[in-house]
């Protein structure tokens, strides 16, 4: 049983950060019922559900939220829930009759988690957008990329999942703690623009101090030769990050390079020459040889692995960081707990009558579960 065992969450189906936040909570033991549109719930094959990893560890039920029965079911579940998660544009759940006012009227201790890109208010609140737009406006995207090149999209890790999902989860858990202490629920307005900007707190501080230059010219953004990736003779890549002086000395020693001959690494004018020397040296051997020489030492080096390769790395295998669930390789629940160890994830599956009845029984009891199943079938 995970540390969140006993927590009940209603998730209104969406895309991106909302489902990932629900997965994180479910991974840690929360009971999550995911409510999806009937047409969307039946649009994917069983295999497609299984490989949609972010939907794991919860039961999906098909509900038409535009019907009285659909709205009624949500409010009945809310009465017994600790939290509701929704990721629609502002005002949508209000129009459906399942907004914060209606839900908190049913359960005054409910935490109503709202996940959007722009937030619940502001000039862009009702505009469409995606991860890249949000981190662009937040001042984060401009700092990502190489010198002389365009801003580089960092997948959707910084916006959707970092600035979105993780901040929503923090807000939900804080809200639940507050509700249990005071008996008062509240609305969590988790906006990706807010979270992404918060993630960049250190960056804003360095800029304010005059310690951060243009994109791709700084220590952590590929400007420094000692925080970079280099191609090896076999076309594979190696990452090095010996930021501290003693670690840098260790790297140079193992590469048979003399730091003093490379130039003063504290002088940014020497960085291009040092980078060229490193690139030429790494090109002399295949990645596996460099790993045998550097990995596991204070040189701070590690191979750049594909997701498929990562599952075979000795460290990842030893920790069980990546696991197989019904033949699908995926990350194990994180973080780790010494007492309340999360269970092995359960793959997502399409809605079916048996699973719906079982999920509703666990929340509402057998009699009410049967009534709702009958109403939803009508």
140-189 tens-digit pLDDT: 999 999 999 999 999 999 999 999 999 999 999 999 999 999 999 999 99
Q: What is the mean predicted confidence (pLDDT) over 51-65?
A: 95
Q: What is the mean predicted confidence (pLDDT) over 258-285?
A: 96
Query: What is 57-78 written as a DSSP string?
Result: TSEEEE--TTSHHHHHHHHHHH
pLDDT above 90 (res 39): no
For β-strands 83-86 and 8-12, DSSP reports them as parallel
**CB–CB of 250/299 below 8 Å?**
yes
- Quick check: helix, strand or coil at residue 159? helix
Q: Which two tokens stand for residue 338?
A: 């010494």
Helix (H) or strand (E) holding 171: helix 166-182
Predicted local confidence at residue 368, as pLDDT: 81
| Global confidence as pTM | 0.95
**CB–CB of 342/333 below 8 Å?**
yes
CA–CA distance, 242 with 245 (Å, rounded to integer): 7
pLDDT above 90 (res 10): yes
Using 50, 70 and 90 to split pLDDT, how confident is the model at 370? confident
pLDDT above 70 (res 65): yes
Q: Which two tokens stand for residue 297?
A: 């030492």
85-137 tens-digit pLDDT: 999 999 999 999 999 999 999 999 999 999 999 999 999 999 999 999 999 99
Q: Which residues are catalytic?
A: 130, 160
pLDDT above 80 (res 377): no
Query: What is 236-273 written as a DSSP string?
Result: -EEEE---SHHHHHHHHHHTT--HHHH--TTSGGGHHH
**CB–CB of 135/158 below 8 Å?**
yes
Q: Choose among 311, 306, 280, 287: nearest CA to 238.
A: 287
Question: Please, what is the Cα angle at 180 between 114 and 4, to 5 degrees?
Answer: 70
Q: What is the mean predicted confidence (pLDDT) over 213-219?
A: 96
- Give the chain's mean pLDDT: 95
Question: Please, what is the Cα angle at 257 between 146 and 228, to 5 degrees?
Answer: 20
Q: What is the mean predicted confidence (pLDDT) over 15-35?
A: 97
Predicted local confidence at residue 366, as pLDDT: 86
Q: Which two tokens stand for residue 125?
A: 């609140």
84 by Cβ neighbours in 10 Å (0-12 / 13-18 / 19+) ranks as buried
**CB–CB of 16/87 below 8 Å?**
yes
Complete domains list, the chain, with CATH: 8-199+348-377 (3.40.50.10540), 221-317 (3.30.1540.10)
pLDDT above 80 (res 376): no
pLDDT above 80 (res 40): no
Q: What is the mean predicted confidence (pLDDT) over 299-316?
A: 96
Predicted local confidence at residue 378, as pLDDT: 64
Predicted local confidence at residue 85, as pLDDT: 98
Using 50, 70 and 90 to split pLDDT, how confident is the model at 38? confident
């Amino acid at each position: 049983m995970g540390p969140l065992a006993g927590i009940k969450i209603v998730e209104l189906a969406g895309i991106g950060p909302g489902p990932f936040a629900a997965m994180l909570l479910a991974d840690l033991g929360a009971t999550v019922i995911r409510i999806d549109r009937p047409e969307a719930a039946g649009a994917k094959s069983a295999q497609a559900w299984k490989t949609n990893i972010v939907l794991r560890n919860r039961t999906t039920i098909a509900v038409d939220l535009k019907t009285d029965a659909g709205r009624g079911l949500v409010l009945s579940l809310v009465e017994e829930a600790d939290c509701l998660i929704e990721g629609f544009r502002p005002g949508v759940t209000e129009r459906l009759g399942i907004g914060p006012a209606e839900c908190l009227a049913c359960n005054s201790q409910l935490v109503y988690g709202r996940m959007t890109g722009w937030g619940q208010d502001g000039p862009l609140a009702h505009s469409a957008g995606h991860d890249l737009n949000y981190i662009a406006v937040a001042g984060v995207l401009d700092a990502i990329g190489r010198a002389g090149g365009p801003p580089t999209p960092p997948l959707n890790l910084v916006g959707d999942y970092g600035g979105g999902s993780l901040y929503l989860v923090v807000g939900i858990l804080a809200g639940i703690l507050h509700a249990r202490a005071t008996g008062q629920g509240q609305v969590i307005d988790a906006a990706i623009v807010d979270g992404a900007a918060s993630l960049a707190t250190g960056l804003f501080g360095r800029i304010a101090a005059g310690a951060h230059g243009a994109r791709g010219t700084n220590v952590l953004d590929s400007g420094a030769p000692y925080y970079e990736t280099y191609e090896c003779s076999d076309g594979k890549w190696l990452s090095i990050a010996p930021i501290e002086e003693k670690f840098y000395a260790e790297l140079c020693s193992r590469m048979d390079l003399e730091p003093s001959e490379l130039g003063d690494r504290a002088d940014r004018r020497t960085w291009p020459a040092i980078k060229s020397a490193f690139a030429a040296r790494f090109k002399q051997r295949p990645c596996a040889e460099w790993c045998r020489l550097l990995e596991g030492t204070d040189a701070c080096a590690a191979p750049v692995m594909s997701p498929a390769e990562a599952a075979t790395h000795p460290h990842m295998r030893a920790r069980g960081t990546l696991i197989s669930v019904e033949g699908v390789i995926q990350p194990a629940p994180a973080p780790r707990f010494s007492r309340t160890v999360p269970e092995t994830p359960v793959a997502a599956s399409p809605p079916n009558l048996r699973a719906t009845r079982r999920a509703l029984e666990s929340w509402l009891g057998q009699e009410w579960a049967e009534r709702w199943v009958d109403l939803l079938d009508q």
